[in-house]
Amino acid sequence: MTDTTTTRRFFAAQKFPAEVRMPPETGHINMFGHRLLDPELEGVPLPNAYQVLWDEYNKEYPPEPGRFRSIPITALDIEKGLMAELKFGDPDSSSYQNWVRHCIQLIHVVKGAMGVPAVSFYHMPPGRPQNPDRLMAYVPNELLRELDYFFPLCYIHEDYDWENYVEYVRQVVELSDGYGVPVYPLVWGRWFNCPPYSAHQGKLIPQDHWSKILTGIMDAGAAGLALWDGTYMFWRLCDRLNDWPAFRSRFGDEMQRCETPWQYTVRVSQNMVDVCAGVLWSETDRAQIRGLNEGGKEQSDE
């Protein structure tokens, strides 16, 4: 019988350098931003707006056959509108209700016209890791019922108790049980939104500490992890600016051994992937998954 840990999933939530060795069981979550998905977007029918965004994404990140096991699934990133309404809006207001209707319509367009197999929203359902006693906001059932997976945000703040993130995921998993959907937390291996002028802001989280947090998240019932790594974006910016020495001095020791931004990108991205894989699967699990992927069926124990 296949161990339950082999059902855990790992997703790349952005494009990773080709040099980075991805686990054979990797899926891909396309992250689409909010700028073309605004319900007040004038003159552009919703399906056309999504098609424009889809075309832009595929031009920027062309498909990489063989690198990902599954068809990409989608997370719609509508932070400034949707999240603001869920956090601060009145559920009885027309603005709140319009956002909910818009989001449901958008899901139908993405899954219907565009043929995307699974859709959710970035940071859904939202949480407040510094206050784990409750989820951040009420999300109406009619919206949650449309989601194919829950996608909570687990970027780590230096000044928050890491156990609060575990509690947040536990609450999301408990909520997801009522909808029969998996939970794939979005994670990142850098400190996020640290106190102003913190020496650690944007720096890499020590791998042992990050691994402990990710292990807690998985123990809370998550079905897998989705990894964001802004290092690739960093490399492209640095390459355009042609100012690697300045960037290297700004971020300190973690870059000192890298002569080029690309070398840095590959090394850091590989480390983040390896930490996630180490939390998700044992070496035995990884070998078993590899056999399933390559052979098309589970190997006999005999």
Answer whether residue 289 is part of any domain: no
Domain housing 136: 8-230
Q: Rounded distance, CA 79 to CA 89, Å?
A: 14
Q: For the chain, what is the mean pLDDT?
A: 75
0.85 cut: is pTM over it?
no
DSSP character at residue 81: I
State phi, psi for 101 to the nearest 5 degrees.
Answer: -60, -40
Taking the C-alpha atoms of residue 227 and residue 10, their distance in angstroms, rounded to an integer, is 8
| Residue 145 within a domain | yes
Confirm whether 56 is domain-assigned: yes
Within-domain flag for 276? no
Q: Residue 164: give its domain's CATH number.
A: 3.20.20
Instruction: Name the residue with tokens 């910016």.
Output: 237
Q: What is the pLDDT of residues 2-18, one digit of tens each?
A: 344 558 999 998 878 88
Instruction: Assess if residue 109 is contained within a domain.
Output: yes
Residue 7, φ and ψ in degrees, nearest 5: -85, -5
Asked if the structure places residue 42 within a domain, the reply is yes
Confidence (pLDDT) at 151: 95
* 57: helix, strand or coil: helix
Domain contains 72: yes
Give the number of domains in the chain. 1
